[in-house]
Structure 1
């Protein structure tokens, strides 16, 4: 097992891991009605406060884009940088890997560049696609900020992107390629995802209500999060994960969640646990009719009629897409640390068609093991298990 040495996250409900837990533990949403000057859609969004005011240092200006500003904000966390400095002193900067996830990277700046090109007939002089939009730009920027020299990669598998980073990092460590890893994910608000999900009729005009009888779509958010993984003692460890690709449909999950079931069962096997050992599941829970129905069926198939306490925290942060995996992994770790069950924010009415033990109010619990689920377009599924240390 790999110890969770430190975490850092920025999100619509605040600028720290502590703010994240404070919000999800109370079911206090960070979502607001869309007030973006550059997007007219009637919807709710999870916008990170003050991201537009961030100014990168002069030597990092060529990397400037909304996505990297979010990463920069998260990477300023003092406790995280202190833990990473200790890891670098112990292992060396060349022995710490960087495994990150994103779905759209810095596409917002490319959208702006296209708009200027249409207006002026030429690309903006300062537009640098290689640094600001190319998917690998995220890891190269983060390595520059952190001074890391080990192997790096960015995973882009839609909404499972920054969940899969844990498994890649684990494989690298097991293979002896590295001794520790910074894993994480960043995704930012942009026209491409807002209009894309609206075109798919998945974007709700109401605030998202995961697993609610009246749910009718997602609220998109943005976030950045990072976790330091090491083979060293820690209060909570990454115990194992499972991945599957069911390829049922490009944008619709299998009705019975067959791929989700496979990912959860593989995660349990990797952690050497039985279903009854899991005390809490942080569900993917997007608030679309099809996703929540499919995930509920999958959870029922894996955990049986007795079920397991389940909640979705997307009612707090919104669906942060390529950053959802890392944000919700951090919430799951926090639930274990605090021995508490975060409620499903914005939920109002039970859906009798969903066989779930849904957490709708904050509550204490005796937890030893917990699971986090993230399922992406095309059936790219990932489940992670976290455990308290012995």
Structure 2
């Protein structure tokens, strides 16, 4: 019997320069890049008292603050995509409608060819909110999901990737990354490897996660949710505020002399110290940051802005602060933006990468919202004050997930 030959793809001897040619985010701060930049500049947070859902079995809502995207309940997907309808896919669709991202994807597909563009998306819970609703509304003697929630593809971790593939018409590799809170940071690394190997010429990367009962009550069961707006790196912090968000970026092989933003380096680690507790000495965090710097070919002192993972949980912030203080000089401007958006879980990587790209474009260096009493673990690198302005060549983003799934990214300008 003849066995089909698999074409052998030879990786590039010299990795191509990777350009970021478009980026967007939709969060509790608003829709699109300008809404994010305006809120960061004006220190206008997007957290509100929890008004999501009805709790469990009609019980009172969880007493916390959330970063909720307004208007998702009113979004109507195009008729051809109605079978994928759920909160998560609505946000995926909505986020693509801003900063001309849908038009940029169309142009990319036409220029590169649909099969030469990868789709790499991160999520931690995908459309599990729809699955919760489906079980709550079982019909026919509790044997069937109700109409509108009976599409199997909606109830899988790959729901997001499959939906955006249908939405965009991209036909290259389609990958859904689910590594907890580092998911949509790791998409940049995956896309870079696909391009470097010659498998594709470009990638649409991003991530989406939305609020649901499993997220709110699951994190609360771990004792990680605060009843007040989160206070990253504050000495009195007592937990996180959960949020939802979606965002995208386009990565392409840069043309010779092409100006603009660059993906300069990425670093990944998996210390596997504990299911939900970070390594006490920040081993995985430090390895990820060092690998990103090494791949970018720069020193720690070259980084002008670092968007910290900074969830406002007691253990995570202390560990990250120590790792940053050990690696970076005091001249670094670092801060956590989760006081603005909440912790958007699998979407945090893409959202906070967009914030790092805004820092490069505008010289906008956010501080840390809601916090004022510094944890003694914080070095001079971590700023609580108002946003600063400054010219910088490199910006960095940290995303650290459960199970020790860590990713750091370095962005720069040509």
Same fold (TM over 0.5): yes
Return the offset for 1:10. 1.1
For the pair 1:312 / 2:336, whether they are aligned, the reply is yes
For the pair 1:179 / 2:201, whether they are aligned, the reply is yes
For the pair 1:27 / 2:43, whether they are aligned, the reply is yes
SS in structure 1 of the partner of residue 343 of structure 2: coil
- Pick aligned residue for 2:235 from 192, 206, 213: 213
CA distance in 2, matches of 1:246, 1:186: 25
**Number of the residue aligned with 1:99:** 120
4+ aligned runs moved over 6 Å, structure 1: none
Task: Tell me the alpha carbon deviations over residues 235-265 of structure 1, each in whole angstroms, 9 at most, x when there is no partner.
Answer: 2111010000001111111122111000000
Contact 1:268 1:385 (8 Å CA) reproduced: yes
CA distance in 1, matches of 2:151, 2:178: 17
**Number of the residue aligned with 1:62:** 83
CA distance in 1, matches of 2:314, 2:397: 20
- Consecutive unaligned residues in structure 1, runs of 5 or more: none
**Number of the residue aligned with 1:86:** 107
Moved more, 92-101 or 121-130: 121-130
- Pick aligned residue for 2:225 from 190, 203, 213: 203
Query: TM-score, normalising length from structure 1?
Result: 0.97
SS in structure 2 of the partner of residue 239 of structure 1: strand
For the pair 1:229 / 2:251, whether they are aligned, the reply is yes
For the aligned residues, what is the CA RMSD?
Answer: 1.4
Return the offset for 1:76. 1.5
CA distance in 2, matches of 1:120, 1:31: 40
For the pair 1:116 / 2:141, whether they are aligned, the reply is no
Return the offset for 1:28. 1.3
Query: TM-score, normalising length from structure 2?
Result: 0.91
**Number of the residue aligned with 1:354:** 378
**Number of the residue aligned with 1:321:** 345
Structure with larger Rg: 2
Return the offset for 1:41. 0.2
SS in structure 2 of the partner of residue 279 of structure 1: strand
Contact 2:321 2:377 (8 Å CA) reproduced: no
- Pick aligned residue for 2:93 from 66, 72, 83: 72
Q: How does 1:1-390 map to 2 (within 5 A)?
A: 1-39=17-55, 40-77=61-98, 79-117=100-138, 121-122=142-143, 123-128=145-150, 130-232=152-254, 233-304=258-329, 306=330, 308-359=332-383, 360-389=385-414
Moved more, 152-161 or 363-372: 363-372
CA distance in 1, matches of 2:140, 2:43: 44
Aligned residue pair count? 388
Return the offset for 1:119. 9.8
Contact 2:232 2:311 (8 Å CA) reproduced: yes
CA distance in 2, matches of 1:48, 1:234: 33
Return the offset for 1:129. 5.2
Moved more, 228-237 or 211-220: 228-237
Task: Tell me the alpha carbon deviations over residues 81-124 of structure 1, each in whole angstroms, 9 at most, x when there is no partner.
Answer: 23222222221111110000000000001001111128952322
